[in-house]
Amino acid sequence: MRTLRPTMLRFLRPRSQLSTRSQHLLARTLFTQTSSTSAKALTADKLNPRLLEAQYAVRGELVLKSMEMKKDLESGNSTLPFKSIIACNIGNPQEVGQSPISFPRQVLALCTCPELLNNAAVINSMPSDVVARAQKYLKSVPSGTGAYSESKGIQVVRDEIATFITNRDGGIPANPDHIFITDGASPAVQMSLQAVIAHENVGIMIPIPQYPLYSAAIAMNGGNAVSYYLDEAADWGLSVSELQRSLDEARAKNVECRAIAIINPGNPTGQVMSRKEMEGVVQFCYDNGLVLMADEVYQENIWMKDQIFISFKKVLREMEMKGTIEAGETELLSFHSISKGFFGECGRRGGYVEFVNIEENTLEQMYKMASISLCSNLDGQLTMGLMVQPPVEGEPSYKQYIEEKTNILESLQRRANKIVNALNELEGVTCNTTQGALYAFPQIQLPQGAVDRASELGKPPDTYYCLELLEATGIVVVPGSGFGQVDGTWHFRTTILPQEENFDDVIERMTNFHQEFLAKHQ
């Protein structure tokens, strides 16, 4: 039975009233195996163990520490050896200075506050295609952005997305009814995993290194993360033989793999898959009855001149058309987002999932799941529409739109090259080319002294390295252990996002720190 603390005694009710609670606590102590002395239900020993197990390093210990430091810097009394925190931990472009694209923001402002459409001064100051687009949306959705929409998202935007996909894939059609708009790609991935993880023996194949949304959501849903390794020596390439090894190993443990996550372009690894690799994956999914979860949120972020983005939808449909695989059999979920690319509209929370070759009654179940949360936010839905159907040549907004887009993408390309080159200059650091996406993922050889020191502190060596980097420079990166890596290797992920005017400073801080770190632990 619970021991009441002395400080509680003055709050006690008469003994007769205590009896229910006492009996309950007594019963709990007698009949449960936990040794808790708390009557509370939301305590570490009683919380959902799946939640306790889930890890999400992108916003973990380092970020919390950096938030404290930021407050310290803002207080004006800081003794920290730097003047600013540089958040390289997360693909959050506008947080680190990227300006939003003007066109969508103008349309959204008019949709948010339609009375502006009656203000001649406002209308005269806006390009006419902005006004027309806002009017189109408000006509299609007369209740505006303040009403719940259909749970899949508003029809007009799902139509725009379907048109975008069709054009992107060279005319291969997309069905607007098979597209669900969501509050970013993350909830779409989570709801898909929740549907597919039917019991605790279900396995989901994920790349190592992976974006930890996958491992976290698999843990939260009580499934098994089945690792397949990307080949660092081959520019983070993917081989079917490794997929097969991974699948066989899972089967030997009675884990029933039902889906595979593929991130292309890669996060945290920055590779862009070749068509041949993609065909191998589709064939593998077909052969083994796996749902292909294609995380394609970085499809606009391709940095190599000789590469283009190819969607899994296109590869799959073309293999079906050639008869390489049976038509209609290979299940594909393709995820996209307004948070990456050059929009970088993370805070608006917009994304979609396209369901390909999914049975209608399963789509009805997915609709039901979406409907429990009612709908995704309308502002994010419209932003998705504006991203996939931007101004076209001849429209008044086109020139500014293309300038803004090109400036961002060209600058990101320069930054991708610059950071990879700088990292490769560091002693004991090797970094594959960032072919796409918004990250570099260097491997760092840590001196034994650093490994020992980390061990004393009870931390993985790469976490120790990243914490030291933060404390010395204010730069926040994420340790490789948060993404997974080959045992005995150490990495970190940095975004390529700091603005170009700060870039030399970031690289200089990193370089100086690295040299001092090596010197200190050699």
For a second copy, the binding residues in 288-347 under the rule CB under 8 A are 288-291, 320, 323-327, 329, 331, 339, 344-347
CA atoms of 17 and 19, how far apart (whole Å): 5
Give the footprint of a second copy on residues 250-269 (CB under 8 A): 256, 258-259
Which range, of 159-167, 187-195, 406-414, 462-470, touches a second copy by CB under 8 A? Answer: 187-195
What would the DSSP string read from start to end of 398-461? HHHHHHHHHHHHHHHHHHHHHHHHHHHHSTTEE-----BSSEE--EEPPPHHHHHHHHHHTS-H
- Binding of a second copy at residue 184 (CB under 8 A)? yes
Which range, of 146-154, 171-179, 406-414, 467-475, touches a second copy by CB under 8 A? Answer: 146-154
Which range, of 356-364, 402-410, 429-437, 466-474, touches a second copy by CB under 8 A? Answer: 356-364
Number of C-beta neighbours around residue 427 at 10 A = 10
- Binding of a second copy at residue 186 (CB under 8 A)? yes
Interface mask toward a second copy for 119-138; x: CB under 8 A: x-xx--x-------------
Q: How far is the CB of 362 from a second copy (least distance, A)?
A: 5
Identity of the amino acid at 254: N
Q: Read off the tokens for 304.
A: 């190599």
Q: How far is the CB of 260 from a second copy (least distance, A)?
A: 10
Q: How far is the CB of 465 from a second copy (least distance, A)?
A: 22
- Binding of a second copy at residue 183 (CB under 8 A)? yes
Q: Select from 3, 6, 8, 79 the one that contacts a second copy (CB under 8 A).
A: 8
The CA-atom distances, in angstroms, between 145 and each of 113, 135, 159, 381 are 9, 13, 17, 9
Number of residues that bind a second copy (CB under 8 A): 116
Give the footprint of a second copy on residues 419-478 (CB under 8 A): none
Q: How far is the CB of 48 from a second copy (least distance, A)?
A: 5
3-state class (DSSP) for residue 294: strand
Q: Select from 73, 80, 82, 105 the one that contacts a second copy (CB under 8 A).
A: 105
Percentage helix, strand, coil for the chain under 3-state DSSP, each rounded to 5: 50, 10, 35
Give the footprint of a second copy on residues 195-234 (CB under 8 A): 195-198, 213, 216-217, 220-221
* Rounded (10°) angle between helices 128-140 and 155-168: 120
CA atoms of 91 and 267, how far apart (whole Å): 10
Q: How far is the CB of 3 from a second copy (least distance, A)?
A: 13
CA 112 to chain centre: 27
CA atoms of 69 and 75, how far apart (whole Å): 10
Q: Select from 24, 253, 399, 520 the one that contacts a second copy (CB under 8 A).
A: 24
Q: Select from 1, 26, 37, 46 the one that contacts a second copy (CB under 8 A).
A: 46
Q: Would you say 288 or 511 has its CB closer to a second copy? A: 288
Which range, of 50-58, 263-271, 457-465, 471-479, touches a second copy by CB under 8 A? Answer: 50-58
- Binding of a second copy at residue 373 (CB under 8 A)? yes
**Measuring CA to CA, which residue among 462, 93, 493, 481 is closest to residue 269?**
493
Q: Read off the tokens for 374.
A: 């009612």
CA atoms of 182 and 377, how far apart (whole Å): 8
Q: Select from 26, 147, 234, 402 the one that contacts a second copy (CB under 8 A).
A: 147
The CA-atom distances, in angstroms, between 53 and each of 14, 64, 208, 221, 462 are 42, 19, 18, 11, 21
3-state class (DSSP) for residue 214: helix
Identity of the amino acid at 120: A
The CA-atom distances, in angstroms, between 269 and each of 284, 340, 466, 503 are 22, 15, 18, 20
Q: Select from 66, 69, 85, 92 the one that contacts a second copy (CB under 8 A).
A: 92
Q: Would you say 190 or 432 has its CB closer to a second copy? A: 190
- Binding of a second copy at residue 72 (CB under 8 A)? no
Q: Would you say 359 or 504 has its CB closer to a second copy? A: 359
Interface mask toward a second copy for 374-403; x: CB under 8 A: xxxxxxx-----------------------
Q: Select from 85, 90, 281, 446 the one that contacts a second copy (CB under 8 A).
A: 90
Q: How far is the CB of 217 from a second copy (least distance, A)?
A: 7
Q: Would you say 274 or 373 has its CB closer to a second copy? A: 373
Burial 126-152 (b: 16+ CB within 10 A, else e): bbebbbebbeebbeebeeebeeebebb
Q: Select from 65, 78, 82, 94 the one that contacts a second copy (CB under 8 A).
A: 94
Which range, of 19-27, 463-471, 472-480, 506-514, touches a second copy by CB under 8 A? Answer: 19-27
Do residues 203 and 215 touch, judged by C-beta distance below 8 A?
A: no
Do residues 134 and 107 touch, judged by C-beta distance below 8 A?
A: yes
3-state class (DSSP) for residue 371: helix
Q: Select from 56, 82, 309, 398 the one that contacts a second copy (CB under 8 A).
A: 56
**Kind and range of the H or E element at 466?**
helix 461-473
Do residues 230 and 237 touch, judged by C-beta distance below 8 A?
A: yes
Q: Would you say 218 or 388 has its CB closer to a second copy? A: 218
Give the footprint of a second copy on residues 25-44 (CB under 8 A): 25, 28, 32, 39-44
CA 444 to chain centre: 24
